[in-house]
Amino acid sequence: MVRRHELTDEAWEVIGPLLAPPRMGRPVRDRRQVLNGILWKLSTGAAWRDLPERYGPWKTVYERFRRWSADGTWDRLLAHVQQHSDAIGEVDWSIVCVDSTIVRAHQHAAGARKGGPWTGEALGRSRGGLSTKIHLACDGRGRPLTFTVTGGNVNDCTQFEPVMARIRIKRCGPGRPRTRPARVVADKAYSSRKIRAYLRSRGIACTIPERVDQISGRQRRGESLCRLDRTVYRRRNVVERCFNRLKQNKALATRYDKRARHYQAMITLACLRLWLPT
């Protein structure tokens, strides 16, 4: 019986070959069982020590998660699934929506002293305390393409170019990877001359409303306002729905991991689940 948070047979057929055991060495634990244990942790947000016995020793599952986080296994799985989806035309390149969301850091993730080891671990002190911010780009169907993780006090517009630069889906045949959508949709936080110039240089149209102070400045100088297609802008809600689905995983809705690379691995795994067949 497949439980709610576990991989279906169809999903395992897609990523199972990429997790094939080595040909030599001592026998290893069933990798699907280990991966289902990691997904249980992602879904519940519980401590590793509370892992149910059906997934094997908790330390084995944790060590496998830590190893796969360090060697880039999760990134390779996500890239493989996105490449497969793009090959069959399931990636909507008509628009890409960019936005960010704040995640509160649990005391287990932020238990170090002020100015201590958490510095540089994508933790920032904002109005609500220590927090992390996820900057994400999704396609027109609301599926995540890529993301970056910063402290909660980092401005959204500073991460726009890093997020766009990470959109890179390889083709199954010859040719360069897909990196450019037809249009980018974002809210007022991304309204700046630098961002608009960056998109123009790459030949990407944008639908980004201007802030009130920018509108007043243009009117004062006698300049024309940026045209906003409100019909297209309404499609920006797909990124909000994407965040809602990602945050159904309790290990993402609240950050429990001290290390940024472990939290990034959890986000990558949650993004992977949105691409896999259910």
What DSSP element (H or E) covers 254? strand 254-255
Q: Residue-wise pLDDT tens for the chain (278 aa)?
A: 677 888 999 999 999 888 866 554 555 568 999 999 999 999 999 999 999 999 999 999 999 999 999 999 999 999 999 999 999 999 999 999 999 999 999 888 876 555 555 557 888 887 778 899 999 999 999 999 999 999 999 999 999 999 999 999 998 878 899 999 999 999 999 999 899 999 999 999 999 998 887 777 777 777 777 778 889 999 999 999 999 999 999 999 999 998 999 999 999 999 999 999 87
- CATH of 93-253, picked from 3.30.420, 3.40.50, 1.10.10, 2.60.40, is 3.30.420
Q: Is the pTM of this model over 0.75?
A: yes
Please give the Cα distance from 245 to 257 (Å, whole number): 20
Task: Report d(CA 169, CA 191) in Å as an integer.
Answer: 26
CA distance 54 to 37: 8
